[in-house]
Structure 1
Amino acid sequence: MPAKYSQPYQPLLLRILHGLTGLFVIAAILTAFWTYNTYDGRWGKIPLPQFKTIEGIHGTFGLFALLTFPLFVLYAFHRGQKRLIHPDSLMKLTQTGKPIWWYNLHRLTNTLAILALTFALFSGKMIDEKWLPMGELNHSWYYAHLISWVIMVICIALHLLMSARVGGLSLLQSILDWRFRSQDSPARWSKHISDWWYSFRLASVKTWWQSASTLRVLEVFVLVSIAAAWIISLLKELL
């Protein structure tokens, strides 16, 4: 329901996309460890039940994350681009200890989390679901996927720490608050989308590419990686 705010406010669509993607990613991380624990365990394991179907469950959560992630990416690199790195972010990181340093470190961790998830999802699509049940544990893509989830855990921890450092508990609570402002109503989403698409069509490719070029390169890289993951996975099924 529409409401007034005295604390940090997060757009409703951001909260939905961030929440769904985060939920699927956390579930994928937990089931990824359970899968490793069941079929591998070379670098340590804990006494979890030997649940042979856990790999399929992990793959399902990974698929859900892969489906919601492109929408989150489009939002993050356009309406949410102020939360990502800026062209001068690296320069401002030299101002150690100052508020601007913490804000830019927060933007950097947000951007790294997106790239880490891209790596995790892409490497996951490169894995054959028959490898682990057959004991084939030495494939390079399997190792890459294991590394990607370790990086993802680190990025999530940094994301939460930086969010708490920059905005405190109120910022973390604002992500879980389902109240929204009138201009953020779902009834207006179709108009917002049509307005964005109209402005995107009016802008030339050259203008689009020159504006915030670092973010444009990252956006294209992430979206192309997601598309490539689907295409390569489909080709592997057909061949």
Structure 2
Amino acid sequence: MKSTQPYQPLLLRILHGVTALFLVMALLSAFWTYNTYDGRWGTLPLPKYEEIEGVHGTFGLYTLLIFPALVLYSFHRGQQRLMAPDEALKLTAQVGRPIWWHILSRMTNTATLLALTFALFSGKMMDDQWLPQGELDHFWYYVHLISWGVMVVAIALHLLMNAKVGGIPFLRSMLTSKFRPQDSPKLWKNHIKFWWSNFKLNSWTDRGRAIAQRSKLELSIWASLIAAWIISLGKELWSLI
């Protein structure tokens, strides 16, 4: 790979690609679910497939399972791709300059993570029996519908801004299968061992201090994902009582 070409770390490409695949399938199946069971705001001539709710839930679950890994990477090794706390104030002073577009790109990257968190959280708040039973007026159903629209807009802006900043070479760099020697999957086992050894050496106080130093944005995303799982499991346990 030529050094003049943009390069994206292999782990980023894998996490980004797998998350994107599951997310797109979740979005498409979400519309099909709406088209089958609701359709109050317009429909498309899609076949009625009553099992589509389960298909959507499966892709949503896959997205939820891989998303934490992407969040972890984004806020640690990929932090330079996200918006810095003070960058929003720089927009008005940098209008039209190249840095302005780079800031907008990082803002859309960050907004996409937030939109996906919103979609996953609201989806976990739903009951998969609401739509098949014709219960279309639940609060969380409306919230999840809104999250679908927000997610579609966020993805569109994410693609447009990254294409504007990096152009075709950047988009190609996200799709290539080539990687540098230091990115080889053969080294991942050693990286994990090194991380785990350092983790064990830290005290609980050090770990708590490290967590407190993370950005409020990252902590809010983790809190939302953890809360979604806890509330969802609580609902399952309650239904068994």
| Class of the TM-score when normalised by the shorter of the 2 chains | over 0.9
Within the candidate set 22, 32, 35, 2:33 is matched to 35
Deviation track 1:196-222 (CA, whole Å, cap 9, x = no partner) reads: 455566566446544xx5xx2111111
| Cα distance in 1 for residues equivalent to 2:12 and 2:110 | 15
Go from structure 1 to structure 2 and tell me whether the alpha carbon gap of 1:209 and 1:237 turns closer, same or farther (over 3 Å shift): closer
Q: Which moved more, 1:59-68 or 1:192-201?
A: 192-201
Runs of 4 or more, structure 1, over 2 Å off, are: 3-6, 190-210
- Asked if 1:174 corresponds to 2:173, the answer is yes
| 2:158 counterpart of 1:153 | no
Residue 69 in structure 1 maps to residue 60 in structure 2: no
Residue 181 to residue 130, structure 1, CA distance change in 2 (3 Å): same
CA distance in 1, matches of 2:166, 2:212: 31
Q: Relative CO higher for 1 or 2, CA cutoff 8 Å, sep ≥ 6?
A: 1
- What's the TM-score once normalised by structure 1's chain length? 0.92
What amino acid does structure 2 have at the position aligned with 1:155? A
Q: Which residue of the partner structure matches residue 136 of structure 2?
A: 137
| TM-fit CA distance, 1:5 | 4.1
Aligned mates of 2:34, 2:11 — CA distance in 1 = 34
Partner of 1:223: 222
Q: Which amino acid aligns with 1:43?
A: W
Looking at structure 2, the residues matched to 196 and 84 of structure 1 have their Cα atoms a distance apart, in angstroms, of 23
Report the CA distance shift for 1:222/1:208 in structure 2 as closer, same or farther (over 3 A). Answer: closer
Q: 2:42 aligns to what?
A: 44
Q: Calculate the aligned-residue CA RMSD, in Å.
A: 1.6
Q: C-alpha distance in 2, partners of 1:208/1:121?
A: 23
Query: Match for residue 183 of structure 1?
Result: 182
Give unmatched runs, 5+ long, in structure 1: none
Q: Deviations over 1:209-236 (max 9, x none)?
A: 44xx5xx211111112111111111110
Alpha-carbon distance between aligned partners in 1 of 2:190 and 2:216, rounded to the nearest angstrom = 27
What's the counterpart of residue 4 of structure 2?
6
Q: Which amino acid aligns with 2:158?
A: H
Residue type at the aligned position of 2:222: L
Which residue of the partner structure matches residue 80 of structure 2?
Answer: 82
- Are positions 1:125 and 2:121 aligned together? no
Give the whole-Å Cα distance in 2 for the aligned partners of 1:60 and 1:235: 20
- Unpaired segments of 5 or more residues in structure 2? none
Residue 193 of structure 1 deviates from its aligned partner by 3.0
C-alpha separation between the residues in 1 aligned to 2:136 and 2:28?
Answer: 19
Corresponding residue pairs, total: 233
